[in-house]
């Protein structure tokens, strides 16, 4: 059990939890930044969490849901206020609706998490601040302390499972809901280079090709929010090609980009693609949350071998970054 102390200070309106771990500081820090890892311990065992969005950057937002034993779903969101790599971050934790919008009728919590190395591993100190004694007592009565203790009891197993999140792993695809899939992979390269590879047409033509034997003759980038893009591929030597087009909905370099995506020449519904880049010790964690119109579309796309093509492209991207191709 990693929790060593729990202190409730009614004068300061805070609850402080200290937890110690045998894992190195960087390993503990990255467990909170990676949505695949934090969702394995953020909710208690009876209400596991699924992170639908996780922007570990000041000004970013995280959206998660907790699913109960009867299938009941409860949503929350974080508004990221501050972050100092390997040291601390501060978020406002809200109850939310299914869209991630904060529920202002319920109390929010300002949480500051501080991380430090110790002689035996690492320590995390969580300070939750409340606006009033009534809000503090309300959340305690709702089971906040018991839930946090149960959630943190799961962290050791996540920290020990380093192989599941190592940079050597290929593309992971996880079903988040009937209409959402999250694709994740660590790209061995700095975040600025990975971002540039997604926003520079000449670079994209060299890596975003899927299986060998294809070229990308059309790569029109959407530079500003509201712009449209167009990508087209064709097999070497000519033949039937395909392409996608869409609109850039959000862009926060070098961490987040949101686009729509529709296949050219078809009436398939457009998807919503949310790309997030997060720096980690071994490179850049790339996560892509894809939202489909329905379950049938989600399963049909996955059945095409989408992740195999993505893995080939991302491996090619790593080689490109490694060769330091100039802009």
Return the residue matching tokens 């119109």. Answer: 293
Q: Distance (Å, rounded) from C-alpha 235 to C-alpha 213?
A: 6
Q: 93 and 190 share a domain?
A: no
- Residue 291: inside a domain: yes
pLDDT at 325: 39
Q: 24 and 74 share a domain?
A: yes
Q: Distance (Å, rounded) from C-alpha 174 to C-alpha 206?
A: 27
Q: Crossing angle of helices 306-322/191-199, nearest 10°?
A: 120
- Number of residues that make up the chain: 327
Last residue of a domain, one of 138, 163, 188: 163
Q: Using 50, 70 and 90 to split pLDDT, how confident is the model at 193?
A: very high
Supply the range of the domain harboring residue 134.
3-163
Question: In 62-200, which ranges are continuous DSSP H helix?
Answer: 133-141, 144-152, 155-160, 191-199
Q: 204 and 290 share a domain?
A: yes
Count of CB atoms situated within 10 Å of the CB of 105: 6
User: Residue 21 sits in a domain of what CATH number?
Assistant: 3.30.530.20
The mean-pLDDT minimum among 125-134, 142-151, 277-286 falls in: 142-151
Structure tokens at 138: 């309300």
Q: Distance (Å, rounded) from C-alpha 158 to C-alpha 148?
A: 16
> What's the domain count of the chain?
2
Q: Which residues pair with 89 in a beta bridge?
A: 83, 113
Q: 153 and 232 share a domain?
A: no
Angle 252-110-124 (CA atoms, 0-180°, nearest 5)?
90
Q: 148 and 262 share a domain?
A: no
CA 126 to chain CA mean position, Å: 21
Return the residue matching tokens 């300061």. Answer: 12
pLDDT at 323: 53
205: enclosing H helix or E strand: helix 201-207
Mean pLDDT of the chain: 92
Mean pLDDT of all residues in 186-203? 96
Q: 120 and 188 share a domain?
A: no
Q: 85 and 63 share a domain?
A: yes
Helix, coil or strand: residue 215: strand
- Residue 131: inside a domain: yes
Q: 92 and 138 share a domain?
A: yes
Last residue of a domain, one of 134, 163, 192: 163
- Residue 177: inside a domain: yes
Is pLDDT at 81 greater than 60 in this prediction?
Answer: yes
Q: What is the pLDDT of residues 242-289, one digit of tens each?
A: 999 999 999 999 999 999 999 999 999 999 999 999 999 999 999 999
Q: 135 and 67 share a domain?
A: yes
Mean pLDDT of all residues in 119-143? 90
Which residues, at least 6 apart from 218, have a Cβ–Cβ distance to it below 8 Å? 230, 231, 232, 243
Q: 152 and 225 share a domain?
A: no
- Residue 227: inside a domain: yes
- Residue 327: inside a domain: no
Q: 26 and 103 share a domain?
A: yes
Q: 46 and 109 share a domain?
A: yes
Last residue of a domain, one of 107, 129, 163: 163
């Amino acid at each position: 059990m990693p929790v060593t102390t729990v202190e409730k200070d009614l004068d300061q309106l805070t609850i402080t939890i200290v937890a110690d771990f045998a894992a190195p500081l960087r390993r503990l820090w990255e467990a909170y930044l990676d949505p695949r890892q934090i969702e394995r311990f953020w909710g208690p065992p009876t209400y596991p969490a699924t992170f639908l969005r996780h922007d570990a950057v000041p000004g970013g937002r995280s959206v998660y849901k907790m699913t109960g034993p009867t299938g009941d779903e409860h949503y929350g969101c974080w508004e990221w206020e501050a972050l100092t790599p390997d040291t601390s971050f501060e978020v406002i934790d809200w109850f939310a609706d299914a869209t991630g919008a904060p529920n202002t009728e319920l109390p929010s919590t300002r949480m500051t998490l501080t991380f430090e190395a110790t002689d035996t591993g690492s320590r995390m100190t969580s300070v939750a601040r409340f606006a009033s004694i009534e809000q503090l007592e309300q959340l305690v009565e709702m089971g906040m302390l018991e839930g946090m203790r149960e959630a943190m009891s799961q962290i050791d197993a996540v920290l020990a499972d380093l192989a599941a999140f190592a940079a050597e792993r290929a593309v992971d695809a996880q079903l988040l809901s009937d209409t959402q899939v999250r694709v994740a992979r660590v790209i061995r390269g700095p975040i600025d280079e990975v971002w540039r590879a997604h926003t520079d047409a000449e670079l994209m033509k060299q890596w975003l090709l899927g299986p060998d034997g294809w070229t990308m003759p059309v790569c029109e980038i959407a530079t500003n929010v509201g712009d449209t893009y167009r990508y087209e591929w064709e097999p070497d030597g000519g033949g039937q090609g395909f392409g996608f087009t869409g609109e850039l909905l959000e862009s926060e370099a070098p961490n987040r980009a949101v686009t729509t995506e529709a296949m050219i020449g078809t009436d398939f519904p457009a998807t919503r693609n949310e790309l997030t880049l997060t720096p980690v010790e071994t490179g850049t964690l790339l996560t892509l949350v894809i939202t489909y119109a329905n379950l049938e579309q989600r399963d049909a796309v996955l059945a095409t071998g989408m992740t195999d093509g993505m893995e080939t492209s991302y491996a090619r991207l790593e080689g490109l970054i490694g060769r330091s191709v100039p802009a």
